[in-house]
Amino acid sequence: MRKVICILCALVLLTGCVERKYIERLGIITVIGYDLLEEGFLEGTLIFFQFDPNANSVSQIITSRANSAKGIRQDANLKSSKQLVSGQLRLAVFGSKLAEKGVMRVTDTLARDAAVSDLLYMTIAEEDAKAILSSNKMEDAADIGNYLNSMIRKNIRNEVLPYSTLHQFQHDYYDLGRDPILPMLNLEDGKPVLRHLALMQDDRLVGKLPVKKGFYLKLIESRFEAGHLEVGLPREKFKEYFKSDRNHEDIDQMFVTFDEIKSKSKLELISPESLEFRVNITLEGRILEISDDLKIQDPKVVKLLEEEFASLIEKEIESVVEVFKENQVDPIGFGQLYNSKRPLKEKGEWREMIPDISVDAQVKTRIVRHGIIK
Amino acid sequence: MKIQLQVPVGIQIQAFYVFFLIHTTQVGTGIMGISTHIYSTAKQDAWISILVAGVWMSISVFCMGKILQQYESADLPGIQVDIFGKFVGKFLGTILALYFFGLLISVLLNYIEVIQVFLFPTVPTWLVCLFLLSLVVYAVLGGVRVIVGVSFLFFVGTVWLLIVLYKPISLMEWNHFLPVMGNSYSDIASGAFKTTYSLVGFEVLLFIYPYIQNKRKAHSAAQLAALGTTLLTLAVVVITIGYFSGPQLERLIWPTLSMFKIIQFSFAERFDIIAVGLWMMIVLPNMITAMWLCTHTFKRVYGLRQKQVLYVAAILLFFGTIVFQDRLQINYFTDKLATVGFYIAFVYPIVLWPIVLLKNYIRRKRGTSQ
């Protein structure tokens, strides 16, 4: 018995040997924004939670300047009574000026610090990161960080945004023949929204792609489990199958919305010499909305819809690839495929070859259901 | 010193437990960073390197089994004295004991560094060292049966960590393994050589043998343990190579631990912290066995009392860890030790077996001629 008491006492006392962190004295950083100032200085905007019962608000925002990312934290510590810690960092926002120069400069510390989670979301601001984090339109979230984080997480789960965690970014950055792709935050009436995806050469921002086009990127690169898509199909071709003419004649497109899209894709490198790729995509989904009154129970209509849908996707894929070629970026990983046949020596080698690639898309679509009405 | 070691039935163990003893002695700090080491030479063919090393290990275990069969109930220090005579035999025994001592320092240093990087950046080395050593000393004082029991319990207590790897597996990219055989044979061979650091530890069979009750089954249990470790290493390396991209993997110090960073549960947001803490259960049996091997060998070679050797070794270890402070020193020491370990575990048994056969052949011939 005496032994047990001794051991218990020792256990209680020994816990004091390691460093203590009282939650009331901590400022738990959840979001960090980085901007590049003209003199080469970094400006950091930190949002942190505080659990002090005496405090008025749950979170605080601090802006500080330094030459390095960790310097920002040290400088921020001079402006707060809380000990700032980064174990709960959920989101990093990079200002566009910094992103154009390259984000690796600050990403290095995020990767090096074992306290920072690999599941941190990386985003790029279309203008200044500070402006986005200072916004006070956050719906009913606890603070702006919470709002941004839930918005991005939700859209990744809904398969609208690419999986853009710190791990994924580093993976794509270091992999030969592949570039990262990150979501971009923009202010619309003072509220942060997602409009574009950032096209990057290694860690440098070089162009933008509308989020909607991101669908085709994901279609080639991986698979959908429950995606959705709105398309405009040529109205002319369906005219004979209309039950009534409920829409204005002057629109030449029929808009169809698909959801619960399931897809599979197989990307192949046909010839490494001429850089010809082929992607076979099979896709099935259900129709949720049609702008015209179509005789959807007619098998011929469904067939026509499927064909038109497929050819539209093929065209869109071509145009997206064209954008990639113009910007010399490869977020899909064509280069990875090339690398597995002809090992590349360095990243730049593939960058030179990107404008010469050609992608032949072959799409098969199937419409499974069309809602609860005919 | 006696060549045969007679062990009372009361402190003997079942051959079944040899599996856990060998497996937990092999798996430890090595597996935390193994992928980076192998990948740095063998690249996407790292898995071939591991298979090569695994087969080699199996051959070495086979030789150990054959050596032990020549004697009824002997261990390596005894056999060495029998084969090479008193002077050389004792010298070799001392080298072995010192090697195990070095292994202990290396495991301690590597794990303490992980604790400092992941969990408590400000905790002093000597403090963690004190905690771990007190546990090691306590377990070794309990004797062979306690050591084997600890191995068994901690194996069961940590093997479930494999299940949570489903998340990194789901993020794997198989084209990281292409092209197959894209590297030269010498690269793959040197990858196999680098694998050996995480595989050493199976030489414990040569020491534990007298303590085994059903000695016939010992060899197959040891082979099974070797196979288990090979498969585990293979799984870890394949997952890390698929999960990280090549140059990213080369930058990591402990890819296996970094991989746990992606795992998240609603009740445990940062699973990597838990994994690093749990790693102590993987490392402890490792250190306990190494400590037992070190002290037991000194006892066998010089007839010292194991308890006294244990206390002296613990004090020396405590001061030994203070000498090494930074990553580069630890790396250098670990590399050198890995080379020694390679010769002891992978080369020595294969060389020793023919010598033992020859010696016994000559002995029998003399016996019949007299």
Does residue A130 contact residue A43 with C-beta atoms inside 8 Å? Answer: yes
Average pLDDT on B28-35 reads 86
How far B261 CA sits from the closest chain A CA (Å)?
6
Whole-angstrom CA distances from B264 to A195, B160, B279 are 28, 16, 18
**R_g of chain A, CA atoms, integer Å:** 25
**Does the structure show a pLDDT above 80 at B327?**
no
Lowest mean pLDDT across A233-242, B21-30, B53-62, B159-168: A233-242
Over the stretch A298-324, which tens digit does the pLDDT of each residue have?
Answer: 888 888 888 888 888 888 889 999 999
B175–A336 C-beta distance less than 8 A: yes
| Domain B9-362, architecture per CATH | Up-down Bundle (1.20)
B251/A178 Cβ within 8 A: no
User: A210 with A174: CB under 8 angstroms?
Assistant: no
The residues spanned by each domain of chain B are 9-362
Per-residue pLDDT band for B236 (boundaries 50, 70, 90) equals very high
Q: Within chain A, which residue ranges are assigned CATH 3.30.300.210?
A: 222-369
Three-state SS for B7? coil
- Closest partner CB to A337 (pick from B175, B248, B262): B175
pLDDT at A294 over 80: no
* Among B301, B324, B357, residue whose Cα is nearest residue B93: B301
- Cβ-count burial of B113 within 10 angstroms (0-12 exposed, 13-18 middle, 19+ buried)? buried
Q: Which residues of chain B neighbour A172 with C-beta distances below 8 Å?
A: 245
Exposure class string for A170-205: b at 16+ Cβ within 10 A, else e: bbbbbbbbbbbbbbbbbbeeeebebebbbbbbbbbb
Is B135 within 8 Å of chain A by CB? no
Size of interface A-B (CB pairs under 8 A): 62
Task: Return residues 163-182 of A near B (CB < 8 Å).
Answer: 165, 167, 170-176, 178
Q: Which of B298, B325, B324, B317 is nearest to B309 (CA)?
A: B298
Among A40, A92, A97, which residue's Cα sits nearest to residue A67?
A40
From chain A, pick out residues whose CB is under 8 angstroms from the CB of B36: none
Q: Is B116 helix (H, G, I), strand (E, B) or coil?
A: helix
Residues counted in chain B: 370
Residues of chain B above pLDDT 90, percent: 28
Q: Does B184 touch chain A (CB under 8 A)?
A: no
The residue among A85, A90, A118 with the most chain B CBs within 10 A of its CB, best to mutate, is: A118
CB interface of A with B, residues 71-130, below 8 Å? 87-88, 114, 117-119
The two tokens of residue B40 are 């740095």
The mean-pLDDT minimum among A132-141, A258-267, B38-47, B56-65 falls in: A132-141
Q: Which residues of A touch B269 (CB under 8 A)?
A: 88, 117
* Helix spans in chain B (H): 16-26, 30-42, 46-70, 76-118, 125-141, 144-158, 166-170, 185-199, 205-208, 218-243, 246-251, 255-259, 271-302, 306-323, 327-342, 348-369
Q: Does the pLDDT at position A48 exceed 80?
A: yes
Q: Which of B36, B120, B170, B175 to mutate to test the interface with A (most CBs of A within 10 A)?
A: B175
Produce one character per residue of A71-101: b if its CB has 16 or more CB atoms within 10 Å, e if not: bbbebbbeeeebebebbbbbbbbbbbbbbee
pLDDT digits (tens, 9 = 90+) for A193-249: 998 999 998 889 998 999 888 888 888 888 888 788 888 888 878 777 777 766 666
Chain center to CA of A82: 32
pLDDT at A248: 63
Contacts of A170 in chain B (CB under 8 A): 245, 248
Which class is domain A222-369?
alpha beta
Check A174 against B247: CB less than 8 A apart: yes
CB contact under 8 A, A118 and B118: no
CA-based nearest residue to B108, from B135, B139, B129, B134: B129
CB contact under 8 A, B175 and A174: no
Cα–Cα distance measured from residue A286 to residue A272, given in angstroms and rounded to the nearest whole number: 37
Q: B-chain residues within 8 Å CB-CB of A119? A: 261-262, 264
Task: Please give the structure tokens belonging to residue A117.
Answer: 């989670």
Q: Is the pLDDT of residue A39 over 80?
A: no
